[in-house]
Amino acid sequence: MLAAMKKEIFLRKDELENKSLQSLYFGGGTPSILSADEINSLIDEVLRYFSFEKDIEITLEANPDDLDKNFLKQLSNSPVNRLSIGTQSFFDEDLRFMNRAHNAADAEGSIKRAQDFGFENLSIDLIYGSPTSNLEIWKENLKKTIALEVPHISSYALTVEPKTALNDWILKGKVAKPKEEEQNREFYYLSDFLKENGFEHYEVSNFAKPGFYSRHNSAYWKYKEYLGIGPSAHSYNGFDVRSWNVANNQQYNKKLTFNSLAKEEEVLSQEDQFNEMIMIGLRTIWGVDLDSLNNKFSERILEQFQREIKSKIEEGILIVEKNHLKIPEKHWFMADGIASDLFIV
């Protein structure tokens, strides 16, 4: 797999217009099962064809149970300077329900060990709205996070997807369906509590201390180009083409053995590009740049857009600040629904 990924890096080395990278992200699946030497070998391969900005952000997604002392010691001597830890909760009942391999002690211990080895730029994932949780448990999760001095938090409501074990359990009455009103309450408590403790709510699901915004994710939200390497990885040229690699490892490896890319792509229509800009922009503190919209899209799309936003601005669901369209934070829990009302179909 590593050899195939290195081959893909070589074959796609000319796809990014900017050869000086501001971020490198090891994510999707479980990259923390790699050894530090294997991670370093991939970084070295990237450096054969690209350069790194002096302050490049290099993130590794990791499960708490992978972050033992030996691995962290080796990783601390690598270029990796940011960890995104899949904590989810500091309560065992929550973690058992979510079928996580780690327990609450692992969740806390992995953060402390990472800090002991010099990793200050840490992000953790937290899930709210679980049937095994409530507002009081959620408050304790957030207090623990503050006590651990984690500077970045990504937090998501538990969602029920079709054809999953959770959906099956709900249909069979084994667990209660997540309650939207409870998730709403926990979302706004999350936002208020973290802001009181020095965090900035810069995207619907993301919070950071000043200076700790995720540079990698912020690039997604600002429509910048990115290149994804490995099975299932997605890429975007910054304009109108998205591509994705096949998910099947065997197919991915076989194609690259013959110097062929195992990917598909789509050219985004004007409507697709507009809808993505609206969906992504309205989830952030930056909002949607109205000048960019006016310069990019047809009169037909812009006229419909102006009709759709008029009533929402009058209701206060949307606002315009410095020529950027935004959703006031008090309505952020419903951001995706508000954005979808503006889609061009």
pLDDT of residue 26: 96
pLDDT of residue 46: 97
CA 236 from chain center: how many Å?
15
pLDDT of residue 233: 95
Q: 291 exposed, middle or buried (CB, 10 Å; 0-12, 13-18, 19+)?
A: exposed
Which residues does residue 201 pair with via DSSP β-bridges, in sequence order? Answer: 207
Contacts 24+ apart (CB under 8 A), 102-106: 102/63, 102/64, 102/65, 106/64, 106/65
- What 3-state DSSP class applies to 203? strand
pLDDT of residue 165: 73
pLDDT of residue 139: 97
| CATH of range 270-340; options 1.10.3470, 2.40.128, 1.25.40, 1.10.10 | 1.10.10
DSSP H helical ranges for the chain: 2-11, 36-47, 69-75, 92-97, 104-116, 135-147, 165-171, 180-196, 215-221, 249-257, 270-281, 290-296, 299-315, 335-340
Find, among 252, 255, 279, the residue nearest to 268 by Cα.
279
pLDDT of residue 180: 83
Domain segments of the chain as ranges = 1-15+225-268, 18-217, 270-340
CATH class, domain 18-217, is alpha beta
Find, among 229, 255, 250, 248, the residue nearest to 28 by Cα.
229
Instruction: State the 10-residue block means of pLDDT for the chain, 345 residues long.
Output: 96 93 91 94 97 96 95 96 96 90 95 98 95 93 97 92 73 76 94 98 97 94 94 94 95 94 95 96 96 94 95 96 96 94 93
pLDDT of residue 91: 95
Strand 82-88 and strand 51-62: the pairing is parallel
